[in-house]
Chain A
């Protein structure tokens, strides 16, 4: 069970959340200009990163707000939690994390800093949640 630190509610069990897939997939600027293959790429093709992955989560039984998370798909270690619409933070991987084989290189997903403008939190957080990091050892 992951213990996920919701930016609004604090640490809660994974069962209160829903997974929202890869983060930072920008909506095409001109969808009409795409051919079928490119449109399918946008809709269905996602990275399958081994290592640190930027993904969206919804606190569905809590505050019902979306947020982004950097999670290591190998160790389930949560590296960062940050609001929708903000760019992927730089996370320096501690040497002890043994991420030698995991690619942390920037991939196509890191370029889009435009999250969907309909993000539920767009009219929200009173206190801007700083990039809350999960408590140490919380992810085991």
Chain B
């Protein structure tokens, strides 16, 4: 009986769960300028922090689950449903849709833990650690460039890569998903600040362009 109660509890909790920038939903919609730059908070994603030596046997086992492990800074590997971002030579972040979480019928965390086994390293469920901002549009790069020191020009920052950096002084993982689409992964407690910072940086594009 206790087990049944726990399961319904998980499902009940899902309904009342609020994302870190949930209270900004309307502001994000109001601050977006369709056709120029659009910002919204992504759905809850399943994220796992993985630390393993990629050259070890355990590394190969984990790579088999995630569709490879990135070998160097910027590289993103994975499958249709999982992205693995490079955080360090032996540190990775696996990102998957919400339904991949074990509490919602998926098995990403469990299968990663199983793949690691007793080998040195760790697999930690970090799904609540970061939230996802999705910034897209032809002006998205210009918005980011106001607060990011990296070279974001397409010749150097190409779609399908991700870099750990700072945007608006907030540490984020910045993933480029398409030519004009970015994902920012700030830690939850920075979501409000970064959300408002991005809105501020986007504001000028709501006005007519001054030639």
Q: A residues near B, CB below 8 A?
A: 8-10, 12-13, 15-16, 61-65, 121, 123-127
Contact = CB atoms under 8 A, between A and B. Distances in A.
A124 B88 contact: yes
29 contacts: A8-B88, A8-B89, A9-B73, A9-B163, A10-B73, A13-B149, A15-B149, A16-B166, A61-B164, A61-B165, A61-B166, A61-B171, A62-B73, A62-B165, A63-B73, A63-B89, A63-B91, A64-B91, A65-B88, A65-B89, A123-B120, A124-B53, A124-B88, A124-B89, A125-B89, A126-B54, A126-B55, A126-B89, A127-B72
B63 interface: no
A121 to B, nearest CB: 7
Interface in B61-82: 71-73
Contacts of A15: 149, 166
A35 B196 CA distance: 56
B87 interface: yes
A13 B148 CA distance: 10
B122 interface: no
Given A9-B73, A10-B73, A13-B149, A123 B165 contact: no
A127 B165 CA distance: 21
A30 B172 CA distance: 43
A127 B86 CA distance: 14
A13 B167 CA distance: 13
A15 B150 CA distance: 12
B90 interface: yes
Given A123-B53, A127-B72, A62 B164 contact: yes
B193 to A, nearest CB: 16
Contacts of B71: 126-127
Contacts of A13: 149
